[in-house]
């Protein structure tokens, strides 16, 4: 897994007003915890771009005024309208301790999927999986093979097996499914409608014949 460096500075003051001032100056209020003292600091928002706005997971090398450690981004809060980063939480990690991370999924094998070759639609149900592993085993993404999927078939969490990784998501949770295209559903519905109408008119015809007798 790749590493992104975050260079930060300790906060002299805490509180909402100070946090707002830091954001207005282009910084992100942060906190570092786990395996050591809790440190409140801030870092330039521009450093978060390769860490937050990406389809891959990363380790983080945190450098706070010369104090360095390895960490992961545990949580990040965004403004509901502007989507500016409001706050970031970092968790220290060590090679001898398992960690839990959300790892993005990447779908592969679309060109061989029977359902897609017949015009089906591939629907992604989960963009990421929650993985528990030692840092050395943690991948930056997880490939999910959909080459065998036909209509109404899905790849589930239970179908993914990677050495050294445990998955915290429900085993029966779907990751991706191939659905029948809307046009095909309409064709089937149209074809079935006359048949149902003919079946319904049959009893009426029988009643007319009985009346003639």
pLDDT in tens, 8-29: 999 988 989 999 999 999 999 9
- Answer positive or negative: Cα dihedral of 63, 67, 69, 73: negative
Q: Kindly tell me if the per-residue pLDDT of 204 is higher than 90.
A: no
**pLDDT range class, residue 195, cuts 50, 70, 90:** low
Q: Are 50 and 44 in contact (CB under 8 A)?
A: no
In this prediction, what percent of the chain has a pLDDT beyond 70?
85
What are 33's two structure tokens? Answer: 């915890």
Q: Kindly tell me if the per-residue pLDDT of 193 is higher than 90.
A: no
pLDDT tens sequence across 123-173: 999 999 999 999 999 999 999 999 999 999 999 999 999 999 999 999 999
What's this model's pTM, rounded to 2 decimal places?
0.76
Q: Kindly tell me if the per-residue pLDDT of 77 is higher than 80.
A: yes
In this prediction, what percent of the chain has a pLDDT beyond 90?
77
The pLDDT assigned to 53 comes to 87
How far, in Å, CA of 60 to CA of 70, rounded? 6
Please give the domain boundaries of the chain with CATH numbers for all domains.
3-93 (2.40.240.10), 101-183 (2.170.120.20)
The pLDDT assigned to 94 comes to 94
Q: Which alpha helices (DSSP H) does 36-181 contain, by range?
A: 49-52, 114-117
**pLDDT range class, residue 93, cuts 50, 70, 90:** very high
- Answer positive or negative: Cα dihedral of 1, 65, 53, 130: positive
The pLDDT assigned to 203 comes to 58
The pLDDT assigned to 83 comes to 86
Pick 164 or 208 by higher pLDDT: 164
The pLDDT assigned to 197 comes to 54
**pLDDT range class, residue 181, cuts 50, 70, 90:** confident
């Amino acid at each position: 897994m790749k590493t992104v460096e975050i260079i930060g500075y300790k906060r002299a003051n805490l509180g909402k007003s100070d946090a707002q001032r830091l954001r207005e100056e282009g910084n992100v209020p942060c906190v570092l915890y786990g395996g050591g003292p809790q440190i409140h600091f801030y870092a330039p928002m521009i450093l978060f771009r390769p860490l937050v706005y990406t389809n891959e997971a990363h380790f983080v090398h945190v450098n706070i005024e010369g104090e360095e450690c390895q960490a992961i981004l545990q949580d990040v809060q965004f403004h509901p309208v502007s989507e500016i980063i409001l706050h970031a939480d970092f968790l220290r990690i060590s090679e001898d301790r398992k960690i839990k991370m959300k790892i993005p999924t990447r779908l592969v094998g679309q060109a061989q999927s029977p359902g897609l070759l017949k015009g089906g639609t591939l629907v992604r149900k989960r963009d990421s999986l929650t993985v528990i592993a030692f840092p050395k085993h943690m991948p930056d993404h997880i490939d999910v093979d959909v080459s065998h999927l036909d209509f109404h078939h899905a790849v589930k969490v239970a179908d993914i097996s990677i050495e050294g990784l445990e998955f915290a998501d429900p085993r029966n949770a779907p990751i991706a499914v191939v659905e029948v295209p809307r046009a095909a559903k309409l064709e089937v519905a149209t074809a079935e409608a006359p048949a149902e109408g003919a079946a319904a008119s049959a009893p009426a015809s029988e009643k007319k014949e009985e009346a003639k007798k």
